[in-house]
Every structure is written in structure tokens, then in C-alpha cells.
A and B are shown apart, each in its own frame.
Chain A
């Protein structure tokens, strides 16, 4: 045993952190795809839904792979819930395009293919940025949006 009058307080041997561990890709992943826009309904009651697919290995999400159908107003609902309940600065949604919803337009308005594609890209960016935020991951509304079959607007907000 070493000199008993002076305590041995040297650190235990540990390898310095591997460069691959330090700079390598994180072992956690979270990918959300927004794709396959479908326009449902006829005439003035038409709306577009998108498929939202999430793949992750983060323990905080109940399902590691989930697919749901969501429309633009669902994304709006999510943004409003988070702005009200959490302290995050929520990323911006693609525009509401009210002008496109006015009658007497030359084109299809909000059902124009190029517009839908623009919107799809914006929604994908929005949800990816949001879902990666640790404070958003704590909110029930995000999990309901991503993994529940349908959104229950009468849910009790919480963590």
C-alpha cells in the first residue's frame, strides 16, 4: 500500500476520448420525411394531406418508426400549441397562402403542383428542426402529432 500518511488521490487511468467518438456521427438519429401529398375531397372542400414518416432510435419516442397523415392546419395547430406551452422559439411554417385561396385565379391556387411541392419542403424542414429540440420532445402535443393516428384537439396539454 502506498504511503498511508498522504492519501492517494490520483485519477484512475482512463483512455482519452477517441477521435471517432468525439467527432464521429452521433449514435442517435431522428429523420422525418414529409412526402406523398394527396388532395382529398371535391370543389371547395378540398384539402391536401401529406404523409409524415418518422424514424428514430431516441428513447424518448415511443415508436421507433411511425407513419401518419397530416394536413397544413395540423402543422399550424402544433406550432400554436408549442408557442403557447413551451419556451422554445418555434421555427417558421411555410406561408398560409391566403392569396392563393381567393377565387378568380388563373391556376389551381393552393392545389397547384409547384406550390404543393414548395409547401412540402417547408413542412419537412419545419418538423425536422422542431422534433430535434429537447424541449419540444418533452411536449405531449409533438408526440401526438408524430405518432398518434389522429390528433385529439381536446387533449390535455402537458409533458
Chain B
């Protein structure tokens, strides 16, 4: 904003063509506030108008060009200077010249690729935004408008259950089972814990959902663990032969889809942690990774292409599918 009242200045405003009809999604910003932004999916066109309103009508506005950009970038909090742009599109709206009156420019970014989901985390942020800029000699006038992108998937073909026997020799043997390994964000985790041998005095048992955000590569990898949920599934001492059911509704928790090695910059993975606590507050636990995915709400006609693209991007080829299974088994080992 210019403090000099002699020159001319302008205000920029970006308005989407489908602002009335397009859905908005809530997203938590870095400082914890929840805001609503326009929701886009991969492949959708981003179109609208840029309004440049002159502050002092009558005076001209000299400029070095007016443009609008669509940017998708990853920002690591410990390295704010470097933004890693994975999508960068530009449309020139006006060549260098001057504006004598307020003007509106149309723009359209057709079938924009939005490969990743918008994410705001503890140490990293991935965002998409439109940025309209009026370039000037001394200082540019620009305006950013953030949008939220969701990546959709469909029911995976292969969704094996997780079933395992674990324990401590002669003290505690259990067999646990979760009905699936891939859950959508509004799914229900159905499972059971079967006690094969109990020689310690167990006070209670709970299931925790842990979100692990991994940033950085090579030697400077950093994991940030966050316990999203703690859900007690058993109170009191179990005996041999007893089976404890698990029913955990995911819709109540704020979670994102599993994001693996996004643009080689960060990952967000989710784990189920089964915790048994004994009379002396000792904790015995078994962690197991689960894959979370986002299910499309309503399959609209205009959405079907988007959903297919989204599903393809998630599922990938058969080889990446088996790589996922292998990784899941290795993690559990």
C-alpha cells in the first residue's frame, strides 16, 4: 500500500466465475484459525475476473504489466525463503502501459493439474493460490487468493485386513485384527483383540491414532508425531480366551488423507497404536500403519472425470500397489 498520496494506486480483486455455485471447504490455517476457501479438484478449470480499481479516479496508473498466476507450492517452515513450486501457470492480462480508469480482466486456466491435496501442518504447508499482480517500477500491487484442493480416491481393489499375533514371551500374547488396511476419512475401524495368554495385570487398553508428519530428506529428516485420538476399548483385567471388540468412527477426528513423499518434500502418515497399560502404569504397545483416503461426497456428472483421475493417481499401477502392501508389512514387522 502506498503512503504517498501524489501517485496513483489501485486495488486488485479476484473473483471466480463460479463463485456462487462452487462449494467451499474449511481449512485450518497455520495459526489455528478455521477459514472457508473455494474447493477445487484435480483437472478443474480455474476461471474468473481480475478487477483493478483505481484509488484516485481521474489520475492514470502507469504499470509494467498486469498478470495473474496460478501457483501450487510447498513451504517448509524452517526454510521459509525457498518456496518449492510444483505448479506455476501465468496469464498475461495487460502489456506494460497505463490505465486511465478501473478495468476488469477475464482469465481462465483450463484443466489445471492439481496433483496434491492442500495441507497445513506443523512444519510444512502445501497451498494453491491465484496471484494477480500489477507490476510497477518501484512497488508491485498484488493480491493473493487461496483455494483448497482435495484429492479424491475410490474404494481400493485390494484392501486386506491387518491381522497379527504379538506378545512378550511368557507374559502376554495377543492377536489383533483390523478389518481393513485402507480407510476413508469417514470410515469405521472394526476390529478385535484376542488374548491368548495373560500373566500380567492389565488395567486398561486403548487405541490411539497417531499422525506423523515427516519433513526433510537425507540426514535432516524430521518427524513430528501428533496423537489425534485416544479411545479406550477395555477397562479391567482380561483373561485368556477373551475377545475385545473395536469400533472406532473416524469421522469425528480431523484428519487428512495419507500423503506419501509429496514432491519429495514431506509425508503425512497415520498409525493405529494399540496400547495396554498394567497396574504399574507400564505401557505395552503395537503400532500399525493405516492408509487414509478421501472419498468423493457426491458423484456429479462434471465430477466423474475428476474422480477417475484422482483414483488413478492414488491407485497407480499394480506395482505401486504391491509396494504399498510390502511397506505396510515391513512397518508392522
Enumerate chain A interface residues (CB-CB to B < 8 A): 1, 4, 7-12, 14-15, 17-18, 21-22, 26-28, 57-60, 134, 138, 159
Q: Cβ of A14: which chain B residues have Cβ within 8 Å of it?
A: 192, 194, 243, 245
Q: Which B residues lie within 8 Å of A57 (CB)?
A: 170, 199
Q: What is the predominant secondary structure among interface residues of chain A facing chain B?
A: loop
Chain A residues with Cβ below 8 Å from B240 are 21, 27
Q: A9-B188, A11-B192, A59-B171 are in contact. Are A28 and B199 (CB under 8 A)?
A: yes
Number of interface residues of B (CB under 8 A): 28
CA distance A72 to B93 in the complex (A): 99
Partner of A18, one of B168, B171, B197, B241: B241
Decide: B191 and A17 in contact? CB cutoff 8 A: no
The answer to whether B280 touches A138, judged by C-beta atoms less than 8 angstroms apart, is yes
Structural contact, A12 and B155, CB atoms closer than 8 A: no
| CB-based contact B187/A7 at 8 Å | yes
Query: What number of residue pairs across chains A and B have CB atoms under 8 A from each other?
Result: 58
8 A-B pairs with the lowest CB-CB distances in the bound complex, closest first? A21-B241, A14-B243, A17-B241, A59-B171, A7-B188, A11-B245, A12-B192, A9-B188
Chain B: CB-nearest residue to A11: B245
A112 to chain B, nearest CB (A): 42
Is the beta-carbon distance between B155 and A9 smaller than 8 angstroms? no
B53 adjacent to chain A (CB < 8 Å): no
Within 8 A of A (CB), among B230-253: 239-243, 245, 247
Assembly CA distance A22 to B240 (angstroms): 8
Interface centre among B192, B241, B295 (most CB of A within 10 A): B241
Query: Taking CB as reference atom, which chain A residue is nearest B242?
Result: A17
Q: Which of B170, B171, B245 contacts A12 (CB 8 A)?
A: B245
CA distance A28 to B198 in the complex (A): 8
Query: Taking the nearest CB of chain B, how far is it from the CB of A12, in angstroms?
Result: 5
A9-B247, A12-B177 known; A22+B199 contact, CB < 8 A:
no
Contact B155 A1 (CB under 8 A): yes
In the bound complex, what is the Cα–Cα distance between A11 and B243 (angstroms)?
11
Closest to B201 in A: A134
Q: Is B273 an interface residue (CB 8 A)?
A: no
- Which residues in A have their C-beta under 8 angstroms from that of B187? 7
Residues of B within 8 A of A159 (CB): 280
**Chain B positions within 8 Å of A21 at CB level:** 239-242
Closest to A56 in B: B199
Residues of B within 8 Å of A59, CB to CB, are 168, 170-171, 199-200
Complex: A27 Cα to B187 Cα, angstroms: 39
B241 touching A12 by the CB < 8 A rule? no
Contact yes or no, A12 B199, CB < 8 A: no
A106 to B198, CA, bound (A): 55
Question: Which residues of chain B in 110-135 are interfacial with respect to chain A, using CB atoms and an 8 Å cutoff?
Answer: none
* Set B190, B200, B241, B242: member contacting A60, Cβ < 8 A: B200
In this complex, what residue of B is CB-closest to A21? B241
Residues on A with beta carbons closer than 8 Å to the beta carbon of B241: 17-18, 21-22
